[in-house]
Structure 1
Amino acid sequence: MMLLTELQPDSKKQLIWEKVKENQIQFIRLQFTDIFGFAKNVAITTDELDKALNGELMFDGSSIDGFARIEESDMYLMPDPDTFQPITWRPDEKGVAYMFCDVYTTDGKPFEGCPRNILKRALNEAKEMGYTLNVGPEGEFFLFYTDEKGRPVFDIHDDAGYFDLSPVDKGEDARRDIILTMRKLGFSIEASHHEVAPGQHEVDFKYDEALRMADKWMIFKQIVKNIAQAHGLYASFIPKPFSGQNGNAMHCNQSLVKDGINAFFDENDERGLSEAAHYYIGGLLTHAKGMAAICNPTINSYKRLLPGYEAPTNIAWSASNRSALIRIPIGTQKSTRIELRNPDPTANPYLVFAVMLKAGLEGIKKKMTPPPAVDKNIYDMNSAERNDYQIQRFPRSLQEALDHMEQDPLMKETLGEHTFYSYLNAKRKEWEEYAEEVHTWEIRRYLKQY
Structure 2
Amino acid sequence: MASDAARLEQIRSTIADREIEFIFAQFVDMYGRPSAKLVPAAQLDSLVEDGAGFAGFAAGEIGQLPSDPDIAAIPDLDSFTPVPWQPNLARFACDVTVEGEAWPYCPRTVLRNVLAQAAEQGYEFKIGIELEYFLVQLNADGTIEIADKRDTLEKPCYDMAGLTRQYEFLTRVSRYCNELGWGNYANDHEDANGQFEQNFEYADALVTCDRAIFFRYMVHTLAEQHGVVATFMPKPFTTLTGNGAHFHMSLWKDGVNVFLDEGDSRGLGLSECAYNFIGGLKAHARAYSALTAPTVNSYKRLKLGSTASGATWSPVWISYGYNNRTQMLRIPAPGRIEDRTVDGSCNPYLAAAAVLASGLDGIANKLDAGEPNAENLYSFPYEELVGRGLRSLPATLHEAVEELERDDVLRAALGRTRENEEYVDYYLRVKRDEWFRYHEQVTPWEIREYLTRF
Global fold match (TM > 0.5):
yes
Match of 2:416 in 1: 417
Q: Where do residues 27-42 of structure 1 align in structure 2 (5 Å cutoff)?
A: 27-42=22-37
- Distance (whole Å) between structure 2 residues aligned to residue 196 and residue 58 of structure 1: 43
CA shift, 1:190, in A, is 2.0
Confirm or deny: 8 A CA contact 2:51 2:75 kept in the other structure. Answer: no
1:347 is aligned to 2:346: yes
Contact in 2 for aligned 1:8/1:54 (Cα 8 Å): no
> Which of 131, 136, 154 is matched with 2:144 structurally?
154
Q: Residue type of the partner of 1:329?
A: P
Matched ranges for 1:393-408 at <5 A: 393-408=392-407
Query: CA shift at 1:290, angstroms?
Result: 0.8
Letter in 1 for 2:236: P
Cα deviation for residue 286 of structure 1 reads: 0.5
CA contact (8 A) 1:295 1:347 kept: yes
Shift of 1:386: 3.4
Is structure 2 residue 133 aligned with structure 1 residue 141?
yes
| 2:163 and 2:189 in contact (8 A); partners too | no
RMSD: 2.1
Look up the match of 2:319.
Answer: 316
> In the alignment, what sits opposite 2:287?
290
Deviations 1:183-211 (A, max 9, x none): 11112112111111111111111111100
Match runs of 1:68-87 below 5 Å: 68-87=64-83
| Aligned mate of 2:275, from 273, 278, 298 | 278
Structure 1 residue 244 displacement after superposition: 2.2
Alpha-carbon displacement from aligned partner over 1:192-242 (angstroms, at most 9, x marks no partner):
111111111111111111000000001111111122122211110111111
Partner of 2:96 in structure 1? 103
Give the conservation status (yes or no) of the 8 Å contact 1:152–1:233: no
Query: Which residue in the other structure is 1:203 paired with?
Result: 198
- Please report how far the alpha carbon of residue 396 of structure 1 lies from its aligned counterpart in structure 2 after TM superposition: 0.3
Flag the 1:259–1:168 CA change in 2: closer, same or farther, 3 A: closer
Secondary structure, aligned partner of 1:54: helix
Q: Is the 8 A contact 2:114 2:414 kept in 1?
A: no
- In structure 1, C-alpha distance between the alignment counterparts of 2:22 and 2:98, rounded to whole Å: 25
C-alpha distance in 1 between matches for 2:222 and 2:67: 40
The separation in 1 between residues aligned to 2:346 and 2:292, in whole angstroms, is 6
Equivalent of residue 126 in structure 1, options 118, 129, 132: 118
Residue in 1 aligned with 2:309?
A: none
| Alignment-derived partner of residue 453 in structure 2 | 449
Matched positions, count: 434
Provide the C-alpha distance between the structure 2 equivalents of 1:152 and 1:123, rounded to a whole number of angstroms: 41
Q: Does 1:218 align with 2:221?
A: no
State how far apart, in whole Å, the 2-side matches of 1:48 and 1:167 are. Answer: 45
2:442 aligns with one of 420, 438, 445: 438
Q: Is the 8 A contact 1:78 1:103 kept in 2?
A: yes
Q: Which amino acid aligns with 2:224?
A: Q
AA at the equivalent of 1:324: Q
Match of 1:3 in 2: none
* 2-structure distance, mates of 1:383, 1:43: 52
> SS at the partner of 1:449?
coil
Q: Residues of 1 paired with 2:437 and 2:356: CA distance?
A: 32
CA–CA separation in structure 1 for the residues paired with 2:3 and 2:91: 17
Q: Which runs of 4+ in 1 moved over 6 A?
A: none
Q: Aligned partners of 2:145, 2:96: CA distance in 1, in Å?
A: 39
Structure 1 residue 125 displacement after superposition: 1.1
Report if the CA contact (8 A) 1:113-1:416 is conserved. no
Q: Describe the superposition over 1:216-275 as per-residue Cα deviations: whole angstroms up to 9, x where unpaired.
A: 001111111122122211110111111222111011110011121111111221321101
Q: Is the 8 A contact 2:57 2:66 kept in 1?
A: yes
Assess if the C-alpha contact under 8 Å between 1:140 and 1:200 holds in 2: yes
Between the aligned partners of 2:250 and 2:236, the Cα distance in structure 1 is 31
The 8 Å contact of residues 8 and 53 in structure 1, kept in 2 or not, is answered as no
What per-residue deviation string (whole Å, max 9, x for no partner) do you get for residues 42-70 of structure 1?
Answer: 11112322111112543222222232122
Q: CA deviation at 1:131?
A: 1.0
- Residues 1:326 and 2:323 aligned together: no
Return the alpha-carbon distance in structure 2 between the equivalents of residues 87 and 76 of structure 1. 22
Q: String of CA shifts for 1:113-135, please: whole Å, max 9, x gaps.
A: 11111111111111111111110
The answer to whether the 8 A contact 1:62-1:73 is kept is: no
| Matched residue, 2:38 | 43
Q: Shift of residue 425 of structure 1?
A: 1.0
Give 1:312 shift: 0.4
Query: Is the 8 Å Cα contact of residues 66 and 422 (structure 1) preserved in structure 2?
Result: no
Report if aligned partners of 1:315, 1:324 keep a CA contact under 8 Å in 2. yes
1:243 aligns with 2:243: no
SS of 1:16's partner is helix
CA distance in structure 2 between the partners assigned to 1:241 and 1:415 by the alignment = 30
Q: Structure 2 stretches of 5 or more lacking a match?
A: 307-311, 418-422
Q: Deviations over 1:343-366 (max 9, x none)?
A: 101000000111111110110011
Distance 2:384 2:138 in 1: 48
Structure 1 counterpart of 2:104: 112
- 2:443 and 2:142 map into 1 onto residues whose CA distance is 21
Alpha-carbon shift at residue 380 of structure 1 (Å): 2.9
Distance 1:184 1:152 in 2: 36
User: In structure 2, the residue corresponding to 1:42 is in which secondary structure?
Assistant: strand
User: Which residue identity lines up with residue 134 of structure 1 in the other structure?
Assistant: K
**3-state DSSP class of the match of 2:158?**
coil
Distance 1:294 1:173 in 2: 34
Q: 1:152 to 1:292 in 2, by over 3 A?
A: same
